Each structure stands twice: as structure tokens, then as C-alpha cells.
Chain A
Amino acid sequence: MALPQSLRTSVTPLELELIASEHLVEIVPLITMEKTAFISVRIEGAYGPLRPPAKCRVPLWMATNLKLKKKCHIVPPEWLSVDFLQERLTRETSRPEFSKLPFRFAEIAKVILDVASDDVQNADKIKSLLKDLREARQAKSRDGLQKLDHSELSLPNLCSMEINEIRPFFIQAMGILTQLVREPSAE
């Protein structure tokens, strides 16, 4: 986050990453494990059973943990592929609105690329595509600053990380705008 300390009033990206690690991902386990209950914010906190070579859906934190112990391969989600991201990038650059991406795509992509880049095909290409996407979207939210008005801000297809990024500045700016608008009407 390219913001001064004073404006960092929202959650940090690390905290967002923590939240995103509850997201379920598919893994190909390399070990056998019975269905196991974990302490989890979800209601059904039990995952498994792991029966290689059958795939299994587990939360990202568990996948990361297993992957670091070389006990599974992470199956990258459908949207984490060159084709999908390329298509979204062209849409992003050709159309004015934000294109639809998973809400926590940035966090999940980062975690998967960090721990399991060997399971992702064309990891380098995907990394650069994600970077391009981020820049394209950031440019759009900067443009959005001009249209900022005091009462409302709708954020269709904006992702958690981006909302988090614009939140401190936009809220403050909207507060000032509200004051500016209200005062003439009070007179």
C-alpha cells in the first residue's frame, strides 16, 4: 500500500490474506488422512477425508500447510490460468467498467503463487498478468476519484484488496465533500 502511515486506518493486506485463507481450494493429496475437524470460523469445520489420488476441497490455510510439507499438490482455481486472466485483462483495458473477478483473487493468487508456483502452469506469465491487471484496475479507481461525490460510492466488481486500498483516502475525501456540500445548503 502506497499510503502514508497516517492514512493506514484499514486492515493490512496480511490480515486480508488471513481472511482469504478460509477460502476453499482443491488439492491432490499425497497422504491419507481421515476426515478431521478443525477449529474454524465455518460451521462445517471438518475437512477430508484425504484419499489419494482423489481430489479434496480444503481451506487455503490447510492447503498451504500441507504443500509446505510436500504432502499435496494445489490445483489452481479455474481463474488462475493464463487464458482467463488474459481475457480479463483485454476486457479491463477495452471497457470502462471493472471486469468481474473473484472477490479475493489477489490474496488467493498471491498465496498460491508463493507456496505452490510449481503446481501452476506458466506461473511467471500469470504473475505478470496479475500485475498488469492490478495496474489497469488501479488506473480506473484513480479515474473514479474525479467522479467522487459526497453521498454514495458504488463499487461493482471491486475486489477486497482494492477496496481496502482506496478506503482510507476515499472515506476522508467523501467526508470533506459532504462538509463542502452541506455548508452552502445551510446558508
Chain B
Amino acid sequence: MASTSKAISNSAHQQGQTCIAFSRDGKIAYTGGLDTLVRIWHTDQGEDQEPEAAYEADEGITAVAAAEGCWLSGGHDSDVRKYIPGKAQFNGLVTSAAGASIRCLAVDPSGKRVAVASDELSVKIIDLDEITNVVILEGGHKKRIRKTTWHPSGSILTTSSSDGTIVAWNVSDTEAKVENVIDGVIPEVVDPESPEFMHDCSAVWHPSGQYFFAASRTHEIVAISRSTWTKSSSLSDPNTIGVTTALALSANGVYLASACKQEILVWSVQTKRVLWKYPGTQNAFTIQIAFSPTENLLAWTDTEGVLSRWRDAIPAGSPDPVRQTAASSAQGTTTKRKSTPPLWGEEPDAGAEGGDPYGDDWIIDDLGDGMEDEPEGAKAIRAGDGFVKEMVSITKAQPAFQPGSTPMENKKRYLAYNMVGVIEVTDQDTHHIVNVEFHDRSTRKGYHFTDHFKYDLGSLGERGALFACPPELDHVAQVIYKPYGTWSTQGDWTYALPKGQRVLGLAAGGERPMRSLRDPSSSGGDIQGQGNIVIATSSGDLTFLSGSGMERIVLGVEGEYVTMAAAEEYVLVVHRPGATTIDGSQSLVATLISFEDFQVLQEKPLPIPKGHTLRWIGTTDEGAPAIYDSAGYIHLMIHHRRPNRAAWARLMDTNLLERKQGKDESYWPVGLSQDTFMCLILKGRQDHPGFPRPLIQELPVRLPFRNQDPVDSPIEERIARERIHVNLARDALGDELTSSDIDKREVELDKQLLKLIQASCKADKAPRVIELVKRLHFPNSIAAASQLAGFYRLIGLQEKIEAIKLWREQNATPAEEAREARQGFAYEDAPLARPKPFQNFNPPPKVDRPGLTRSTGIVEQTEFTASNLAIRAGRSRAPQAPASRSTSPEGKRKRDDNDDDLSSNAFDVEVKRRAVCESDAVVPSPKPSACIAIQPGPA
């Protein structure tokens, strides 16, 4: 209830159908009812006015309308009467409908013509200046017509029939034509006496003329596009369920008013969200709503015969419902925009006018200038009156959220829903019931408990469940951790925050248990610890705790915290370093922080398209970070173990899914494994799952490759996807080259590659074959490829493959190369030694020259040891260097240290001397390097 002013209600007519229309200048409202009267209300007068009444009609009034220079009424007595404006003075009959009730009167935008819909199957368009000038629209309807409306241009008339069709007539010529029939949108109501017949089914045109709104049979409000005559978007609010009984647009098209049950809702047309609600009359439903054409006034009539007028329905501070604005004028001409500069500055709900932060499709965007509008508008303001501060956050910043949680709906919500299990909360008014259930009941035991703190955040980790409650009157914000496996509550601990601080997010990580945590005798769980806990607080920090409640570190967050998810050895934190950008980007950054020593492994901006938001973050079964956004993309962070070398690979585009085609559904991620995307499927406009708990669906992961070759493309996609996962698995191995599992997977990959090679050989595509052969992993596979080439009698190709095989045998295998490359990263990322100011005597950085053999120093064999002791010491060690270098980076570093010591520390001379002795002992021969070179030969 944004508005503080009260609605003025007047009992105007007897119970039953009523109607309302504003005069063109907005000063007068005409209402009609079943009591045969039309009352004339002055909008500037209050509740105590005594309205004039027109008594001419014999039966109930069903429609009133105001035209240029007159007003009209029609009713069950089948006459349409004309009156002097503002007075109840009868001015002649306009038309008569041969015994059929008049159902609707619509005056065209110029105010010169009126369209009369009656129980006859035709619509008459009558020129008000010359009432014999009548156009009859026939042949479009088979049932009685309930409502009719004009397109703002006056060239299209839309009629809504009781058989559920809307017909659009082109009336620009003297001969009217049916332009389109829209079936299946508005409900079918056959019985004119039923209450449903009184509901508003008219097509309410937006002033831009690009689309109209109608109340659909599925209880939504749908927008139908003028160009395609199909549904372009819909408005529905989860909190209001029920049939829409009346609809009206404000004069400039910024707001839409609808009546639902006993409430009047005011929507923002652009964001499609309910902005305000007003209570209507009890035990009655509203039949017709009207916005005043000139004032901030909303009026409606209902089945009780009551006229309600709400002055200042749109609260001050929001865009005016009458004046033209950039948002309402579809053509978006800049001249109009200049007339309302304070719009951006005063707008409290930035989302209403700025970018739609939740990624619903735009209506105005259909015209292509919705997005571009805003920066221009903002610039104009900056030039004009310097509202720089206010214009910054035009894109609504995405609030902090817990992945896998839902809002409270019907007293139930999910606090967490992931691959471990589910935390369900049921609101019992005085307390909550928390139910923790696991997918794998053999490893962990589900439980439930009564919660008096009303936990609103939860995280389900591998080792324990974490909850947090907001501060309330008598208690501060606190976090409780319940590790699994302890069947008493002994293991639980709480962590209270100081007064005034809140918990924004939680994450519980930990190693995946190898054996059941249910078995009390197994100590396996205990020895691996109880995981790691991270708490994001409102004081802008991330607090790391161990699984037993020990505080480890408090890290500052560089900006605004958004969400986080914990894996086995790291936590993925998403934050917003600055503000959202003006063109709709959320500008979020993901940071990977290791639990071990709080190193930042990666810091990457999120690849979310403009105008979209982050929906979910989590980790795959293999431990790689993944995100899902409202545009429907899944991105996986590849190379996340290589410091600062990660990239976001687009793993899947859910819009391309086969099952999605032609369906209105969305996906709510739960988890991700190598080949499957685990999610809950949401129908229609649902944006989170409800109760009872839906089954997890498994969708196949497909890289969004664009080639459509039926045979090769799926194999190529599979190879590329498997490559990503093999690389991830190899990164996890550390310094080892490979594991049997990876070998197995590479053999599988080679098999797939050989299939492609065979296909290419068949098609005689030699370059492709060569490229594919280079991607093979094992010499045996290359041999097989060569055989394939031989089979297809491609002798030249076969020789080339043999050459590749030879070359591969002589050189390092790809796995070895990968290891070398990784060692290179380790060297580059090695912690920097603190340089001494101005005294950097370190050797110059190593230049890696992989193609050349290392130069080996020649040991001088003269016996002048005392004078050049230091030099000799260095040289004599040189032959050892290559060996130590290739074993591990540690060996190399040790050598560098020695060199440092050599130059700085006198104490070390002793050591050096010993080293010399040793080296002399080891290398007694005159030509040690030659010896070493020869030695392998005979052996």
C-alpha cells in the first residue's frame, strides 16, 4: 500500500452490472447500472456530491462512453442515446439494435465515431456527426459480442466475442475486413446471465499501438503483439491467483490496472510486476476500471453498484500515469523524453523504468530501442541537471542469495537443494519445522527438528548441515552447524554474531565421505574432519571456520557479496566489486579461495549476458565450479586448478534442448556431473520449485556447437567435452603424468577419433585426417589410423601418418609436454622472494629454451684451487644441474638458494668447500661431461 490517501466510495447503482467512463477532459465520470440510470459525477467533488442522473433508458444500462461533443449510453433496451456533455440532457437517439441488448460502446480515438456491439452478431460503426453514416462489420463472429475496443490509430477495431475469440478488423477503408482472429486467449462465456459474462474480456490497447492486453482463460494477463497477433509476454503475480475481472491502462501506458478477487492491482507495464494493491469492495467484484485521461485518478465500479475513486492512485515519486514518458512512447523520440527529466532521478523502484533485472523478455524491446533508450536518457539528465548520483544504479542489483533455496510459499520453502540432499522448512507460525533429507540414505541419516529461531539460510555440505538465523528482538544473528554422523547433538555448535550484524550467506564444504557416516563404529568420518565453513556477514567479510567451530580467518570482501558455494578444497565466492553497469550488466566476479591457506586461485568475471542474472552456482561431481544464469547458459570453469589460467567454458545452452522446443519451461539446477545436468523442470512462468518435492530430472550435457553434420558433429562434440573433463582430471593429479582411469578415457577418446578419421578417409579429406591423427594419444592408435589410410588406398596419407608416428616416438608424449607446461606455470607462479632494495644480485630469470640441449660447463682441471675457489665451486656443480632440474622444481630452487648464499654469506664458504670436495670426488675424470654422455651407451 504505497498510497496513503483513501478511496472515495459512493453507492451509485443497484446491484448487478455497472459501467464507467470518463469524459474526454477527465472532469466528469459517467456511471451506468441496472437501475436504468446514468449518473454524472464531477471528479473534483468529494463523497458528498449529489450526482445528476439521466432517466431516459427503459432497462438497465450496460455501456457508457464519452465522445467529442456528447456522451452516449446504451443498455438492455437496445437503444444508444446521445446526451449533451456534462449534463443529463437527452440529445437524440444514435442507433437501435432491434431488440438486442447493447453490450459495449467504444468511441474511436478521434472521438468522432462510435462502435456499437450488441447481441446481434455484427458491430456497427456510426459517425456521430452524421448518424446515417454506418459501417457494419459482419461475418466475424458466431456468438454474441461482449466487448469492443479501438486501436490508438483508429484503423483497427478489436471485438471480443462470447465464444472466446478476439477479432481484429481493419476499418481504415470504407469496407471493413477481418485482419485476424485470435482464438484461445480470452475465456468462452456463453451464458449472458452468468457472473463471468460481466468480466472484462476486452483487448486493451497500449497507447503505442504495438500490442494489447487481455485477461486470458489461464488467469494471466497476456500481451498480444500487433505485428504477429501472437502472445508476446504475460503478466502474472504469484501472490494473486484468480480470474481478472477488469483491465485498464493509464493514459500514457506506463501502468496497467487490473481487478482480481477483491483487490485492484497496479502493474508496471515494463517490468510486468505488481507495484501496488488497493482493496476493493468486500463481497463484490470489480467490473470496470478506468484511469482518468488527465489526472492521477483511478476509478472503478463493481457488482455491488459502488463507484470507487482513488485520487493519487499512483504515489508521488513514481512516474506520472498521464504524461508521456520515454518508457511509454514506443517510438521513443527524444523530444518526448526531454519533457520528463526527473523521471530517472525520482524513480524509487529503479527496476520499474530501468533495465529489467530479471531477464523477462521486454515488450518494448520488440521495437529494438528498449535497451538503447536508457543510456541516452541518462546522458540527457547528466547534461541537464546533474543527477549523477541518482542515475548510477539503473540496473537493479541482484540481491544476495543462497544457491538452491526458494522463497517461502504456502508456508513452505527449501533452504537448500543440492546433490547431497534437501533442507525443507515448514512454517508453523510460532516456530519452523526443519526437515533434512539426503538423497543417499546409506551414507547419512535424515532428521528433522523444531526450530524456534526461524532459520532463513541453510547450506548442506558433505560433512554437515549449516543454518543461520536473522537477528530478532531478543537474540542476535547466529549460525549453527550440525555435523553428520553424530547421533546426539553433542557435535553441534553455534557461532553468534555481534549485535547489529546479519548473516548474508553460508557455505559448508568438506571432503566427500568414503564410507557411511551413519555407522558409529567407523572412525573414517571423524578422521577426515567435519569440513570447512564460510560465513558471509553484513559487515563485509567472509569468516572461515573449521568444522569444529574454530575461527580460522576473516577475509574482507571487495564489494558486495552475492553468493557462494563450497567444494572439497575451495570455496567459490561471487561478489560485485563495483556497481551494476548502466546497460544491464550485473558485473559479478567469481573468486576461488582455497580452504588450505586462503589463496585466491582464480578471480574471474562471470560470463552473464547483459540484462540477465546469476541463478545458481555450484560444483560438478568432479569438483569444478559451474554457474547457471537466467539466460539459460551453463558455464564451467576449466583449468581452475591452474592459478589465474581459468576460463569459462559454455557447457550447455538449455534453450537449445530438444525437449524445450515448443514448450514453456525452465530449469532449476541441482547439480552437474560429467554428462548430465541434474535439474528440476519448472513449467510455465514458475521460477522455483514447489511442494511436494519434484523428481530430479537428468538432461544430457551438450556443448553448444553449431555444426549440424548428423554423423561427425555429435562425435566431435563428445570428444571436445571429454577432453575438457580429462584435462580437469589430469590437473587434479598434481605432478604425476597420468592415471589408469585417464588412460582408459583417452583410449575411448582415441576410438572416437578413429571413427572420425575413418569418415574423413572415406571422404578423402587428407588435411582433416592429419589434424585428427595429431590429436590421437597413443602410438597404437596412430598405427591404427595408418592402417585405415592404407585400407582406403591413400598411400601418401599413410606415409604422412607414419611420419607423424615416428616424430611422436622421438619426441615427448603429449602427457609429458603437459607436465612440462604445468611445471612452467609453477615456476612463474612461485612466490616471489622479497628483493633487497637496490641489491638484486640474483641470477637473471631463467629463459626456458626447450628446443636446445642445455649447455654444460667445462670443469677446469688445473689445480689452482685456492684463488678461484668460488668460481670453481659454481662450475663444478654445473654438470649436476640438468639432472636436478628435470626431477623437480624444488631441486632447482635449492640451487638458486645456494647461489644466493654464496654471494652473501661468509659462513657458507665452509659448505662450499665441502661441496667442492664432494664434486671432485664424484667427478675425478678429466672430461666428466663426456663421461656422462657416453655412460648410457654401453649400459
Contact = CB atoms under 8 A, between A and B. Distances in A.
Contact of A30 (B439, B670, B678): B439
B441 A55 contact: no
Contacts of A71: 441-442
A54 interface: yes
A54 B673 contact: yes
A28 B673 CA distance: 16
Interface in B415-471: 419, 438-443
Nearest to B515: A32
A31 B676 CA distance: 20
Contacts of A55: 696, 698
A32 B671 CA distance: 17
A33 B516 CA distance: 11
Interface string B893-923: 0000000000000000000000000000000
A52 interface: yes
A53 B696 contact: yes
Contact of A52 (B440, B673, B676): B440
A53 B419 contact: yes
B832 interface: no
A75 interface: yes
Interface string A71-89: 1010100000000000000
A78 B683 CA distance: 18
Interface in A16-54: 28-33, 51-54
Contacts of B438: 52
Contact of A31 (B440, B670, B673, B698): B440
A31 B695 contact: no
Given A53-B678, A54-B673, A54-B678, A28 B696 contact: yes
Contacts of A33: 442
Contacts of B673: 54
B696 A31 contact: no
A75 B697 CA distance: 11
A78 B775 CA distance: 41
A30 B696 contact: no
Contact of A54 (B441, B442, B443, B676): B676
A73 B695 CA distance: 10
Contacts of A54: 673, 676, 678, 698
Contacts of B696: 28, 53, 55
B439 A53 contact: yes
Contacts, number: 37
Nearest to B671: A53
Interface residues of A, number: 14
A32 B442 contact: yes
Given A53-B419, A53-B678, A54-B673, A28 B695 contact: yes
Contacts of B442: 30-33, 71
Contacts of B678: 53-54
Contacts of A32: 440, 442-443
A149 B335 CA distance: 88
A123 to B, nearest CB: 14
Residue from the set B419, B440, B696 with the largest chain A CB neighbour count within 10 Å: B440
Contacts of B671: 53
B695 A30 contact: no
A27 to B, nearest CB: 11
Contact of B441 (A30, A51, A75): A30
A19 B45 CA distance: 85
A80 to B, nearest CB: 14
B440 A30 contact: yes
Interface string A159-171: 0000000000000
A33 B440 CA distance: 10
A54 B440 CA distance: 10
A117 to B, nearest CB: 15
A44 B678 CA distance: 27
Interface string B642-673: 00000000000000000000000000001101
Interface string B778-794: 00000000000000000
Nearest to A119: B695
B517 to A, nearest CB: 11
A55 B439 CA distance: 11
Interface string A50-63: 01111100000000
A110 B671 CA distance: 33
A54 B670 CA distance: 11
Nearest to B440: A52
Nearest to B697: A55
B512 to A, nearest CB: 11
Nearest to B421: A53
Nearest to A75: B695
Contacts of B439: 28, 30, 52-53
A29 B695 CA distance: 12
Contacts of A75: 695
A31 B443 CA distance: 7
A32 B514 CA distance: 11
A28 B439 CA distance: 9
A71 B698 CA distance: 20
A31 B438 CA distance: 10
A31 B441 contact: yes
A52 B422 CA distance: 13
A141 to B, nearest CB: 36
A12 B711 CA distance: 47
Contacts of A52: 438-441
A129 B440 CA distance: 34
Nearest to A73: B695
Nearest to B442: A31
Interface in B478-508: none
Contacts of A30: 439-442
Contacts of B419: 53
Residue from the set B419, B439, B678, B695 with the largest chain A CB neighbour count within 10 Å: B439
A107 B673 CA distance: 35
Contacts of A51: 440
A75 B696 CA distance: 11
B668 to A, nearest CB: 14
Nearest to B446: A30
A114 to B, nearest CB: 21
What are the nearest 3 A-B pairs in CB distance? A53-B439, A31-B442, A52-B439
14 contacts: A28-B696, A30-B439, A30-B441, A30-B442, A31-B442, A32-B440, A33-B442, A52-B439, A52-B440, A53-B419, A53-B440, A53-B671, A53-B696, A75-B695
Interface of A: 28-33, 51-55, 71, 73, 75
Given A32-B440, A73-B695, A75-B695, 12 more contacts: A29-B440, A31-B442, A51-B440, A52-B438, A52-B440, A52-B441, A53-B440, A53-B678, A54-B673, A54-B678, A54-B698, A55-B696
